[in-house]
Amino acid sequence: MHDKLPGTAAATVQPPTRIQQNILARSERRILNWLCARLPRWVTPDQLTLLGFGGAVLVAAGYMLSWIDDEWLGLSLVGYIVNWFGDSLDGSLARWRHIERPSYGYFVDHSVDGLAIVLIVGGLGASPYFRLDVALLGAIGYLLLAIHTFLSAKVLGEFRLSYMAGGPTELRLVLMAMTMIMPLVGGAPVLGTDFSAFDLFGLVVASVLVTLFVVQSFATARLLRRHGG
């Protein structure tokens, strides 16, 4: 007799429908499929999840070390690439090899993603270019939208990977571009405020993310009420 975890159903867990409409989705999918077909058999999705988290560690380290020298920002750029490779390929590889574990993969992947976001944002806030409070506002906006995504996966059966034609890959590219211009712009206050140019950009991004969360939450609530959910 096999023991079951408390609260689990005997039926196979069906993953929610993935909705991915970001600008780079098709090009990225072709690249990921190409990589999945060529990864050695010894590479596993769990290893890729850990690799993605390691990339987040590199990003944070590069930002914090930029107090010593701007050249350390190159480490953050490498970290973003490593993070994309591991985070984008772990689930893709599992689906490519037909070895998905929906509950385990969903739980582990997004738990690690949450820690990775905290690391990256914490590193930004610990750099000479960003205030920590502004960086944390960005993290709050991102995590609120992630909560909406997870709730929608439960109540609607839809797992939305993009909003406003943007997704995690586009966000990484924006952050990489911002990182490359950090030494050129600097972290000095601008416009007679206590905020750097990057702080002001971060406030705009945080506002957009929180607004998206509020709008999407109201839209989902209306949909559920209309259909008696």
Distance CA 26, CA 17 (A): 17
Q: What share of the chain is helix, strand, coil (3-state, %, to 5)?
A: 70, 5, 25
| 88-134 per-position pLDDT tens digit | 999 999 999 999 898 898 899 989 999 999 999 999 999 999 999 99
The position carrying tokens 């990775």 is: 116
Helix, coil or strand: residue 160: strand
Distance CA 94, CA 46 (A): 9
On the question of pLDDT at 166 being above 90, the answer is no
Distance CA 147, CA 70 (A): 35
| Local confidence band at 155 (pLDDT 50, 70, 90 cut-offs) | confident
Lowest mean pLDDT among 30-34, 177-181, 189-193: 189-193
| Local confidence band at 56 (pLDDT 50, 70, 90 cut-offs) | very high
pTM for the predicted model, two decimal places:
0.88
Distances in Å between the Cα of 77 and the Cα atoms of 62, 74, 82, 85, 178 are: 8, 5, 9, 13, 10
| Local confidence band at 5 (pLDDT 50, 70, 90 cut-offs) | very low
The position carrying tokens 């999918």 is: 29
**Looking at 85-180, which runs of residues are DSSP E strands?**
158-160
pLDDT at position 46, please? 96
Mean pLDDT of 75-100: 95
CA–chain centroid gap for 213, Å, is 15
On the question of pLDDT at 13 being above 60, the answer is no
Nearest to 189 by CA among 175, 200, 176: 200
End-to-end CA distance of the chain: 37
The position carrying tokens 């993605």 is: 52
On the question of pLDDT at 3 being above 50, the answer is no
On the question of pLDDT at 229 being above 70, the answer is no
What domains lie within the chain, and their CATH numbers?
A: 17-226 (1.20.120.1760)
